[in-house]
Amino acid sequence: MHDPLPRGGLIRKLWIGEADLYRDHLLRLDPVSRRNRFAGAVSEDFVRDYADLSFGIDSLIHGFFVDGTLRGAAELRPIGAPLTREAEAAFSIEKPWQSHGVGSLLLERTLLAARNRGLKFLHMACLADNKRMQQLARKYEAELSFDFSNVVGEVAAPRPTPLSMMREILADGHGFATAMFDVQSRLLKPV
Ligand SMILES: CC(C)(COP(=O)(O)OP(=O)(O)OC[C@H]1O[C@@H](n2cnc3c(N)ncnc32)[C@H](O)[C@@H]1OP(=O)(O)O)[C@@H](O)C(=O)NCCC(=O)NCCS
């Protein structure tokens, strides 16, 4: 379950000022991946507007970085009234980094975050021919039960526990330290 990340890769949460990184990543998706990500064909303008709007107060985005460039992302966004405990999840990985276990790691982080936020139902807009996403979701049958006709996954035990909170804090601590190092090295780079 805990596959190592591809060389030079790290996963951390995106910060509010990083919408441009998210936009550039989504624009780099090849046509098939972009269609799968948005469950249909969308224009570049749509992707730009979408990325600008994605950093709402409630949404949480985990990013997969390779040598400082965002190459993958998992978005978790609560939807509907808070009592319904529903959220939308969406994943995007640039083609050269697909099928290397990154989607699995991003889904693990997203499930942990959903659990710690008491979210129970995860909606994923997944096209019927997107076998890879369906396979990925099936790998987590123990933690999620899926109904693909409605594309809704139910998070098992959607309650935070001290251990699940600690796991998220530890993952964030590592992500934060690495992000600070990344920012510092960018500041120190000669222009
Ligand atoms: C779908 C996506 C998120 C999956 O992420 P990934 O990093 O490629 O997937 P992983 O390498 O973690 O593989 C997950 C599982 O998918 C299956 N899989 C991997 N590559 C596959 C392929 N080429 N064809 C079919 N199934 C495949 C395997 O069962 C794999 O698990 P395993 O390696 O333990 O057997 C990613 O490919 C992607 O971003 N695609 C474009 C956008 C998209 O489809 N988003 C989903 C809609 S929200």
CATH, residue 77 = 3.40.630.30
- What is the rounded average pLDDT of the residues 97-111? 94
pTM of the predicted structure, to 2 decimals: 0.86
pLDDT value of residue 44: 96
67 within some domain: yes
In whole angstroms, give the CA distance from residue 154 to residue 171.
23
Domain assignment present for residue 44? The answer is yes
CA 87 to centroid of ligand 1, rounded, Å: 21
Would you state the structure tokens that stand for residue 169, as one six-digit string? 């804090």
Statement: residue 34 has pLDDT above 60:
yes
Residue 1 lies in a domain: no
Residues with CB under 6 A from ligand 1: 33, 36-37, 90-93, 98-104, 124, 126, 130-133, 135-136, 139
- Domain range for 161 is 9-188
Q: Find the radius of gyration of the CA atoms of the chain.
A: 16
126 in any annotated domain: yes
Residue whose Cα lies nearest atom 7 of ligand 1: it is 103
Contact status, residue 26 vs residue 76, Cβ threshold 8 Å: no
Question: What is the reported pLDDT for 79?
Answer: 85
pLDDT band at 135 (very low <50, low <70, confident <90, very high): confident
106, 131, 132, 144, best to mutate for ligand 1 pocket (most atoms within 8 Å of CB)? 132
Q: What share of the chain is helix, strand, coil (3-state, %, to 5)?
A: 45, 20, 30
The mean pLDDT value of the chain amounts to 83
Helix (H, G, I), strand (E, B) or coil at 39: coil
- The number of distinct structural domains making up the chain is 1
Query: Vertex 144, ends 8 and 164: CA angle to 5°?
Result: 65
More confident residue, 149 or 123: 123
Residue 27 forms part of a structural domain: yes
Answer whether residue 34 is part of any domain. yes
Residue 2 belongs to a domain = no
